[in-house]
Amino acid sequence: MTFSIVARSESGPNGNPEWGVAVASKFLAVGNAVPAAVAGVGAIATQADANVAFKGIGLSLLDEGATATVALDRLLEEDPKRNHRQVGIVDVDGGAATHTGSACFDWAGGVSGDGFAIQGNILAGPEVVEAMKDAWTDSDPESPLAHRLLEALAAGDAAGGDKRGRQSAALLVVSEGAGYGGMDDVAVDLRVDDHAAPITELTRLLGLNDLYLTASTEAERIEVTPELAAEIDGLVKAAGHPNLAAWVGTENYEMRVAEDGSWIDPKILGILRGGPGAEEQAD
């Protein structure tokens, strides 16, 4: 009922490794059941006749030092329904493993390699998994993991995806120091629970996540000189706010403007200068 990719990237936007899962299905709220990840530990997808307990147990095994292969073996060895399960795991170092039980509905299968595991069931055919693998291996390793995962997911969908149709999709990426204010390690946690074009909608949401919930990199920071500060002050007051901090807090741009106002992201500056509609242009 589902196709997914679980992967690790060596270095994310904040310079730290990333782990994540992208998944789509003809199933309501697939993001509730399939993906799990912890920064500095690994990531897992559990699907087909999903054993959702595998998420917590599997991550605990990885946290205790098990490799992806060992963790997967441990999960399956005492599971009487192992032949109905499909699982993909990536460990802290990028070791990967995938399992497709013999009782999973056709077409079902998976592939794993250095830093990734791809799997799916009730698919249009093996070309779905192959398209996802090609998209992953061809993607830029310097790009944020969320975008690489979404590219792979979209490739699988274009190759036929879930043969029953489309309904939901989800994207989860973790990295130490990521998340709102850099406090919870969750770089991306987006779900499209019920939608005619869930991957298209997930792509739109990722663009908003980049703008609102992803910190500016050093390369994206423009120094606020006295001249620029004066321009910004005039713009925010014209917009009805007493100062930049008030405008930033109202518009939720805290991740892309320095708390002391010493730098500003060019996307945010463009929005401030452009007025209505500029936010969409910034995407």
Q: Which of 197, 213, 229 is the last residue of a domain?
A: 213
Q: Are residues 150 and 108 in the same domain?
A: yes
| pTM listed for this prediction | 0.92
At 179 the pLDDT is 86
Q: Are residues 130 and 156 in the same domain?
A: yes
Tens-digit pLDDT profile for residues 126-170:
999 999 999 999 999 999 999 999 999 999 999 999 999 999 999
Q: Are residues 189 and 229 in the same domain?
A: no
Q: Are residues 6 and 35 in the same domain?
A: yes
Q: Are residues 149 and 243 in the same domain?
A: no
Q: Which domain range does residue 260 map to?
A: 219-282
Q: Are residues 188 and 139 in the same domain?
A: yes
The pair phi, psi for residue 261, each rounded to 5°, is: 75, 15
At 278 the pLDDT is 46
Give the strand pairing for 116-120 and 109-113: antiparallel
Q: Are residues 32 and 136 in the same domain?
A: yes
Q: Are residues 130 and 241 in the same domain?
A: no
The encoded tokens of residue 202 equal 């997930």
Q: Which of 167, 183, 213 is the last residue of a domain?
A: 213
The encoded tokens of residue 244 equal 């930049």
In the chain, how many domains are there? 2
Which band of pLDDT confidence, cut at 50, 70 and 90, is reported for residue 277?
very low
Q: Are residues 226 and 197 in the same domain?
A: no
Q: What is the CATH number of the domain that holds 180?
A: 3.60.20.10
Tens-digit pLDDT profile for residues 71-116:
999 999 989 999 999 999 999 999 999 999 999 999 999 999 999 9
Q: Are residues 95 and 13 in the same domain?
A: yes
C-beta separation of 49 from 56 below 8 A: no
Span of 126-130, 215-219, 272-276 with lowest mean pLDDT: 272-276
| Residue burial 123-162, b: 16+ Cβ < 10 Å; e: rest | bbebebbbbbbebbeebeeeebbbbbbbbbbbbbbebbbb
pLDDT at 279 over 70: no
Q: Are residues 191 and 275 in the same domain?
A: no
Q: Which of 160, 184, 213 is the last residue of a domain?
A: 213
DSSP code string of the chain = -EEEEEEEES--TTSS-EEEEEEEESSTTHHHHSEEEETTTEEEEEEES--THHHHHHHHHHHTT--HHHHHHHHHHT-TTGGGEEEEEEETTS-EEEEE-TTSPSS-EEEEETTEEEEESSBS-HHHHHHHHHHHHHS-TTS-HHHHHHHHHHHHHHTT-BTT---EEEEEEE-TT-SGGG-S-EEEEEEE-S-SSHHHHHHHHHHHHHHHHSPPPGGGPEE--HHHHHHHHHHHHHTT-SSHHHHHHHHT-GGGB-TTSSEE-HHHHHHHHH-TTHHHHH-
Tens-digit pLDDT profile for residues 15-72:
899 999 999 999 999 999 999 999 999 999 999 999 999 999 999 999 999 999 999 9
Q: Are residues 265 and 196 in the same domain?
A: no
